[in-house]
A and B are shown apart, each in its own frame.
Chain A
Amino acid sequence: DAGVTQSPTHLIKTRGQQVTLRCSPISGHKSVSWYQQVLGQGPQFIFQYYEKEERGRGNFPDRFSARQFPNYSSELNVNALLLGDSALYLCASSLEGRLGYGYTFGSGTRLTVV
């Protein structure tokens, strides 16, 4: 079985542009979460989706948005990119998205904003 797949693996954008990152969860997993990992730090929670509904969002500006599709895949959109948005963006899938369930992470999308 395929794990969590993310695309693209690397991306370079210019300040002010918009970017869309994609994630396909493990087959059968209904919950997808997004995390941002800035170099040298631990990942920070951005969003959680379950059954196509937003369960919650972290402390990120409205420039960040996401959605989950009927097949449980997900997209993360970031508008008006800033240099500080440069980071590794990680997608995690979970069977039910409840406390205590394990989360499987993808390899991430490395976003560089210049």
Chain B
Amino acid sequence: AQSVTQLDSHVSVSEGTPVLLRCNYSSSYSPSLFWYVQHPNKGLQLLLKYTSAATLVKGINGFEAEFKKSETSFHLTKPSAHMSDAAEYFCVVSDRDGTASKLTFGTGTRLQVTL
């Protein structure tokens, strides 16, 4: 089974500074990877996805992620944090479970943005 590990449970940055949320994956074949964001008391919103095309993936709200096979990483970055970015971020891998296609979530990283 494939899995993802989010290396930080909590990240705090100042508004206007760069954001880095780290994710490593474990996969026996080329994975499909996603980043989702969850604001308090809300559902999940897809930020971006990697499906074996370009290794640098651009998403919504200025976020991007780079797939590095040699490092088995898929870190999420943003050049300049905004207060509205404060939320829970999940690194996710799409995996086959029998005939089902399921999403396996990491444990999440809570991003705090301070003034």
Contacts and interface: CB of A to CB of B under 8 A. Distances in A.
Interface in B87-107: 90, 94-107
Interface string B12-27: 0000000000000000
A48 B96 CA distance: 11
B114 interface: no
Contacts of B43: 4, 90, 105-108
B99 A55 contact: yes
Interface in A98-114: 98-108
Q: Would you call the interface of chain B mostly helix, strand, loop, or mixed?
A: strand
Interface residues on A, range: 20 to 34
A56 B90 contact: no
B72 interface: no
A43 B4 CA distance: 13
Contact of B103 (A43, A56, A57, A98): A43
Nearest to B107: A42
Interface string A83-108: 00000001010100111111111111
Interface in A16-74: 31, 33, 35, 41-45, 48, 55-58
Contacts of A57: 100
Interface of B: 32, 34, 36, 42-46, 49, 51-52, 90, 94-108
